[in-house]
Amino acid sequence: MNLRIPGPTPCPPEVLEAMGRQMINHRGPEFRALLVNVLSRIKKIYQTEGEVLIFTCSGTGGMEAAIVNTMSPGDHVLSVTNGSFGDRFARIATEFGGQVIKLSFEWGDPVDHQAVSKALKDDPSIKLVLVTHNETSTGVTNDLEAVGAAVREQGRLLLVDAVSSLGAIDLPMDEWGCDVVVTGSQKSWMVPPGLAMVAVSKRAWKAVEEASSPRFYWDFRSMKRFQDNGETPFTPAISVYFALAAALDAMEKEGFANVVARHARVGAYTRNMVKGLGLSLFPNEDYASNTVTAIRAPEGVDVKSLLRTLREQHEVVLAGGQGKLDGRIFRVGHLGYVSEADIDVVREALRAVLPLEASKG
Ligand code: PLP
């Protein structure tokens, strides 16, 4: 199968091999060495002087951790959203009692940093800003640098969902003024699902100390205390840590700048493939993501049937649309262990299947 969804993504053979290693004591010297090693290398990809914490959970767990550690019930929160994952971040804050003000943009368009700046100037009571770096549901990469500058200028905290960007798209967290940045192992990192990485800026720690939301599993303070001793408070997904170390070896061998350049190249290659087939991109192309491409379903083509035929007859697995984009778009993931050759396979499958599907409609 050619798995071309925006996560979970395929893993290189050496990563899968690492997953099969025998268990070790999670409170012993081997895990301690593994944790220290992995943390120091991830920090370089975040480009941060802050703290990186690793939780055994999916990306959404990392998002919830970001909220409960920095927000108190009743806090005013600005949710900057242009898709389904931005809406999810807002929902989590709402569930924990935040007073969420939504600044929504058309799905397919980027968020507007000037509007963020204005919203913050107009409402000094806003404490936290939530934003999605790469909106996987629409295939848009937001200008996080500009949003970060706007938030920093107004002295608020910026929580970033970088679940489908970090590790593939450059995100110098400190330079861009981000305070909490969340990512997930099953995306750009070429690792199976199971770990969420959360980086916390020095500024954010003050909020962590002051926040009054209830938290136990997600408590940044206990995670930091344990990690400082080479442990985690609860049993970690040890196999996924093994895999992560192997994937980091591969990323370092390639060189992180080359990893980012490969994603930019493959992203452009995918967009050209789409246009070459006479299809149209869903998002504003100036902000089209280098990790996922969203494509408008051609007139008369049923997306579910298209995806089924691709899978059953060509062993190519693509993703459909989410929420209000269900049935209107389909998506190709190109993050992590991916090259142009994988996109060629997608192109050939689409070329074979699309006329057939269109004739059904
Ligand atoms: N945020 C973004 C941008 C995502 O792409 C995803 C997963 O697709 C998530 C959050 C949620 O991650 P998970 O499914 O690992 O909880």
Range of the domain at 147: 13-252
Residue 149 maps to a domain: yes
Q: Is 55 in the pocket of ligand 1 (CB under 6 A)?
A: no
Residue ending a domain, choose from 235, 252, 269: 252
Q: How far is the CA of 280 from the centre of ligand 1 (A)?
A: 25
Q: Do the domain assignments include residue 310?
A: yes
pLDDT over 80 (residue 214): yes
37 and 109 share a domain? yes
Query: Are 140 and 218 in the same domain?
Result: yes
Orientation angle between helical segments 340-360 and 303-314, nearest 10 degrees: 120
Burial class of residue 39, CB neighbours in 10 A (0-12, 13-18, 19+): middle
Number of domains in the chain: 2
**Residue 2 domain-assigned (yes or no):** no
Cα 32 from Cα 34, distance rounded (Å):
5
Same structural domain for residues 176 and 225?
A: yes
Same domain, 156 and 245: yes
| Residues 131 and 66 occupy one common structural domain | yes
Residues 204 and 341 in one domain: no
User: Is the predicted pLDDT of residue 225 greater than 90, yes or no?
Assistant: yes
Q: Which single residue is written with the structure tokens 């989410």?
A: 322
CATH number for position 261: 3.90.1150.10
Q: Looking at the structure, do residues 261 and 352 belong to the same domain, yes or no?
A: yes
User: Can you tell me the distance from the alpha carbon of 191 to that of 328, in angstroms, rounded to the nearest whole number?
Assistant: 30
Is ligand 1 within 6 A of the CB of residue 59? yes
Instruction: Put residue 92 in one of left, alpha, beta given phi > 0 → left and psi -120 to 50 → alpha.
Output: alpha
| Alpha carbon of 90 to ligand 1 centroid (Å) | 14
**Is residue 183 in some structural domain?**
yes
Does residue 8 lie within any of the structural domains?
A: no
Q: Is the pTM of this model over 0.85?
A: yes
333: amino acid identity, one letter: G
Q: How far is the CA of 122 from the centre of ligand 1 (A)?
A: 31
CA dist 219 and 69 (Å) reads 7
Does residue 301 share a domain with residue 224?
no
CB of 58 shorter than 6 A to ligand 1: yes
| pLDDT at residue number 348 | 98
- Residue 355: the pLDDT is 85
Give the mean pLDDT of 100-118: 98
CA of 277 to the centre of ligand 1 (A): 29
Ligand 1 pocket check for 184: Cβ under 6 Å = yes
pLDDT at 12: 98
62 CA: nearest ligand 1 atom: 16
Same domain, yes or no: 297 and 323? yes
Do 45 and 187 belong to one domain? yes
DSSP strand pairing (99-104 vs 140-141):
unpaired
Sign of CA dihedral 55, 190, 144, 148: positive
Do residue 239 and residue 271 come from a single domain?
A: no
Do both 243 and 276 map to the same domain? no
Question: Given this model, what pLDDT does residue 358 score?
Answer: 84
Task: Please count the other Cβ atoms lying within 10 Å of the Cβ belonging to residue 29.
Answer: 10
Give the count of alpha carbons within 13 A of 163, CB side only.
Answer: 29
CA–CA dist 346, 334 (Å, integer)? 11
Q: Would you call 136 helix, strand, or coil by DSSP?
A: coil
**Which amino acid would we find at residue 64?**
E
Label residue 356 by pLDDT band (50, 70, 90).
Answer: confident
154 in a domain, yes or no? yes
pLDDT in tens, 13-49: 999 999 999 999 999 999 999 999 999 999 999 999 9
The mean pLDDT value for 107-120 works out to 98
